[in-house]
Amino acid sequence: MDISVVVPLYNEVESLPELIAWIRKVMLENHFTYEVLLIDDGSNDGSWELIEKLTLDDEAIRGIKFRRNYGKSAALHIGFQSARGDVVITMDADLQDSPDEIPSLYKMIKEEGYDLVSGWKKKRYDPISKTIPTKLYNWTTRKVTGLKLHDMNCGLKAYRKTVVKSIEVYGEMHRYIPVLAHRAGFKQIGEKVVQHRKRLYGSTKFGLERFINGFLDLLSVSFITKFGKKPMHFFGVLGTLVFMFGFFSAFWLGAQKLYDLNHHIKARLVTESPYFYLALTAMIIGTLLFLAGFLGELISRSSSDRNIYQIEKEI
């Protein structure tokens, strides 16, 4: 099979018929063999009932329904697990992503050798309250991760099949899939300017809190991709350094006290010095950091059930 189109959706019943018809038209014109995976993330507006009808009319459409709303990352994770095509295309269900981009994205993967191609909505039809935070978010992400993409969170992306089978998407890490893929060893990551269309139906499912969550997720993904499988390398080293600083500070205070006593110099009690309490605090914090690394190692080696999502139906 040439292409799997993964479409996570939540309450998009109005846009689905037009989206499916558009995808079908593009696939037939280009003679692709394909499937469309519609991942219903707990919709309550009749989206699933429509998906059931669509699957009866077209065997290329597959539907998966979550029992409740888990979020976009969960939908993409299940879609990636279920995808069978050589190239996996992801797009949003709100018609702001154009299926006409699929052939060129497919060509970039199959003929130009890219592992992942991320869409870049260079011209956006969003209010300034959304575009300015988005630009700031993308700039920060580029600086922190070193990955030179202009639009990290664009829903329209293309992947080589091996990429989606090799990365782990959970929480709200869908914003940083290119970073996860790059850290997993896939170096051929590019971008393509794509069309951004105005929303025709419904309303956005994301508020301003996504920018705060996005920054926190950026810190998380930076830490997890570097130390997720080896937390002791971070906490252990940091704890050791802090402990040694406290230990040698306490040793210096003790040595100074012994020197004063040996030379009959009147000296105050060690416990009267503020440096003693700083040294003691540093040793305690260092020990706690080391223990945090040790516990993190135990957890990371036993966390085999991180991605468990309750699927209600699949057709």
The answer to whether position 66 is within a domain reads yes
pLDDT digits (tens, 9 = 90+) for 120-163: 988 776 666 666 777 777 787 787 777 888 888 888 999 999 99
> In 3-state terms, what secondary structure has residue 38?
strand
**What CA–CA distance (Å, rounded) separates 177 from 182?**
8
The answer to whether position 267 is within a domain reads yes
Range of the domain at 292: 232-300
Q: Which amino acid is at 297?
A: E
The answer to whether position 310 is within a domain reads no
The answer to whether position 223 is within a domain reads yes
* Whether residue 119 sits in one domain with residue 17: yes
Cα Rg for the chain, rounded, in angstroms?
26
* Whether residue 218 sits in one domain with residue 112: yes
* Whether residue 243 sits in one domain with residue 112: no
Query: Is there a contact between 16 and 63 (Cβ–Cβ < 8 Å)?
Result: no
In the predicted structure, residue 180 carries a pLDDT above the cut 90: no
In DSSP notation, 168-196 reads: ---TTGGGGHHHHHHHTT---EEEEE--B
* Whether residue 244 sits in one domain with residue 223: no
Give the lowest-confidence range in 59-63, 77-81, 84-88, 149-153.
149-153
* Whether residue 127 sits in one domain with residue 206: yes
pLDDT of residue 106: 97
Mean pLDDT value across residues 294-302: 74
Total residue length of the chain: 315
The answer to whether position 135 is within a domain reads yes
* Whether residue 240 sits in one domain with residue 102: no
- The number of distinct structural domains making up the chain is 2
From 246, 233, 247, 248, select the one nearest 290 (Cα to Cα): 233
| 3-state percent breakdown (helix, strand, coil) of the chain, nearest 5 | 50, 15, 35
Beta bridge partners of 172: none
* Whether residue 276 sits in one domain with residue 219: no
* Whether residue 96 sits in one domain with residue 26: yes
The answer to whether position 47 is within a domain reads yes
The answer to whether position 270 is within a domain reads yes
* Whether residue 285 sits in one domain with residue 219: no
The answer to whether position 149 is within a domain reads yes
* Whether residue 103 sits in one domain with residue 63: yes
End residue of a domain, out of 227, 262, 282: 227
pLDDT digits (tens, 9 = 90+) for 257-296: 888 878 777 777 777 788 888 999 999 999 999 888 888 7
* Arithmetic mean of pLDDT over the chain: 85
pLDDT of residue 300: 67
Q: Put residue 117 in one of left, alpha, beta given phi > 0 → left and psi -120 to 50 → alpha.
A: beta
On the CB side of 187, CA atoms within 13 Å amount to 0
End residue of a domain, out of 227, 244, 266: 227
pLDDT digits (tens, 9 = 90+) for 186-242: 989 999 999 887 777 666 655 556 666 666 666 676 676 666 667 888 888 899 999
pTM, two decimal places: 0.73
Which pair of tokens denotes residue 144? 């922190």
* Whether residue 115 sits in one domain with residue 21: yes
Element (H, E) at 116: strand 116-120
End residue of a domain, out of 176, 206, 227: 227
**For the domain that residue 165 is a member of, what is the CATH number?**
3.90.550.10
> In 3-state terms, what secondary structure has residue 237?
helix
* Whether residue 179 sits in one domain with residue 155: yes
